[in-house]
Chains A and B, each alone.
Chain A
C-alpha cells in the first residue's frame, strides 16, 4: 500500500495566526505568513518549493517540518450523468469520498467531514460503516484543493460522509478558510452545511457562520423519526425547529429540510399535514430525495408518481418543495450511499 501518511505537519487548514506563529518560529518577517496563506488558499502549487516569492532559505527551513498537506485523490469513478466520485486518503489508512456534481448552471462538490459516522441513521450507507475518525480542516479543504475541478466549483455542500456538527472545530475552521478574505474568499451563500440536528453544534454554526443550513427531517412524527434516526432521542425535531425559529432565515441565509421519501412510510397525506403544521412560520424549502436502496434496508423509495404528488401537496400547503435530481446512483455517489468500509477493512 502506498504511504499516505507523512511525519510532516500539514500547512493546509492553518489560519493566519497559526501561520504567523510558524513564520516567527522560523525567524522570518510576519508578512511572510500572508504570502504563505496566499500560496495555500489562493494559488495552486504542489510543493513548498514552488512558493517562488518566499526566500529559498525559508522554503528549505519550512520543508524540514512542514508540507502543504495535499493528498491527491486515489481513484475517480464517473457516472453516466457526469457525476464523479473521488476517493481520498485520510489519516490512519482510512478513506473518504467526495462527490462532484456538474449541472448547467452550477458545479457542486459534496464534501465529507468524518470517516464514517456515529449517528447510525437507518437508511444510510455511511452510518453502517460506524465511525473511524474526524477529518481535519486541512483534509476537508483538500477535497476541494486536490479536485481537478476545484477552481470551477460554484457551490459546496457539507453532505458527504459524516455529521458535520459532530466535528465542529474542524468544520468551523474549514468554513472560515473558505469564506475569509485571506482564504478562498467565497461568499457563504455558496455553501450549505447539512445536519441531522445536533442542537449545540447547530447553534454555534448559526452564530459564527453565514452559510446556509440544511436539516435532515425525514419524518415529522416523533416516533417514526426515532425509528429512522436515533438522534431524535437526544435532540428531538421539535427542539431543532424551535432553535431554527429563533434565527433570521429567508433573506441572506436559507434553511432547507431534506426529506427522503420512503414508500408507504413517510409519503402519506398525514405527513403532508403534519409537515405543514410543524414548519409553520419557518421560511424554508423542502428537498424531496429519492431513497437509494442499500443492502438490508427495510424500505423502498416511493414511486415517481407519489413523489410528484407529495411535492404538489406540500406546495399547495405553501411550503416550497422541490425534488432533488438523483445524481451518480450508478457509481454509488448519490445521497446516503457513500461508504469506504470495504476499503477501510482491506
Chain B
C-alpha cells in the first residue's frame, strides 16, 4: 500500500475541448462543453483538468435539449480543481464523465431551495420544460451571485424569491432560512427540493421539519 495516486479507475473520464469558459461575476464561471450524452435534468458529471486529479462533481446547468453542456462553478482559492479550471480557455482540454445521479424528480408545485451554485439542477429542469410551476427560494451572498436570476424571474415571475442578507436589488433581506422562519404557512403537501452546501441543507431541513413538513417530502442534494 502506498500513499501515491491510486491506479484504480474510479470514474471513467473522457477528454473534451472547452467550447467556452467565461467569468460571470460573483466568483462564478460558466463552462461550456460539447454534449455527447443524453441526460436527465438534475444529473451531474465528474470533471477534472488532468487524469491524475480526482474528478469533482458538477450539476449540469443546461437543459436536456440544449446543444451544449453547461456547468456553473465558483472558484475556491484553496481548491485543487477550480483555480486550475477557471484559468483554462476555449480549446483547452478537460476530462469529464458520463452524466449520472438521480436528483431528477420534479413534482407539481414543488418548492426549490438553493444557495450558491446549487441552483444548477433547477435551471436545467426549467430549461428542459420541467418545474414551470415551481416556487424557487434562491439564496446568494450578494447581487452578483444571483446567477441566472433573470431567467428564473422570467419563468417563475413572483414564484422566484431571491434572498440575500445584503438586501441587494430589492430581494428578501435575509438568508433563505430567515425567509422560511418568517413564512406563515408552508405547503405541507408539496415536495421540497434543497440543493447546495451541507450547512444550508441541514439548517433548512431542520426548519422545514419544525414547521410541520414531513421529512418524506424533503429531498436534498448536497455539494460535498
Contact = CB atoms under 8 A, between A and B. Distances in A.
A89 interface: no
Given A131-B199, A172-B3, A230 B8 contact: no
A150 interface: no
Most buried by A among B11, B202, B209, B219: B202
A325 B114 CA distance: 40
Interface string B7-40: 1101100000000000000000000000000000
Contact of B209 (A131, A166, A179, A298): A298
B201 A230 contact: yes
A130 B198 contact: yes
**Dominant secondary structure of chain A at its interface with chain B:** helix
A176 B57 contact: no
Contacts of B215: 122, 227, 298-299
A226 B219 contact: yes
Contacts of B7: 207
B interface bracket (residues with beta carbon within 8 Å of A): 20 to 34
Interface string A217-256: 0000000001100111110100000000000000000000
A179 B1 contact: yes
B101 interface: yes
Contacts of A163: 224
Contact of B222 (A120, A173, A203, A299): A120
A204 B202 contact: no
Contacts of B1: 172, 175-176, 179-180, 208-209
B64 interface: no
A169 interface: yes
B102 A296 contact: no
**Dominant secondary structure of chain B at its interface with chain A:** mixed
Interface string B198-224: 110110011001100011101111101
A226 B222 CA distance: 12
A42 interface: no
A298 B2 CA distance: 43
B122 to A, nearest CB: 14
A314 interface: no
A188 to B, nearest CB: 9
A128 B224 CA distance: 14
A234 B101 contact: yes
Given A117-B198, A203-B10, A208-B6, A230 B222 contact: yes
A120 B220 contact: yes
A227 B199 contact: no
B219 A119 contact: no
A236 B3 contact: no
Contact of A204 (B8, B44, B199, B219): B8
Interface of A: 15, 117-120, 122, 127-128, 130-131, 163, 166, 168-169, 172-173, 175-176, 179-180, 199-200, 203-204, 207-209, 226-227, 230-234, 236, 296, 298-299
Interface of B: 1-3, 6-8, 10-11, 44, 54, 57, 100-103, 197-199, 201-202, 205-206, 209-210, 214-216, 218-222, 224
28 contacts: A117-B198, A118-B197, A118-B222, A119-B198, A120-B198, A120-B202, A120-B205, A122-B205, A127-B198, A130-B198, A131-B199, A173-B3, A176-B2, A179-B1, A199-B10, A204-B6, A207-B6, A208-B6, A227-B215, A230-B220, A230-B222, A232-B102, A233-B101, A234-B44, A234-B221, A236-B102, A296-B206, A299-B215
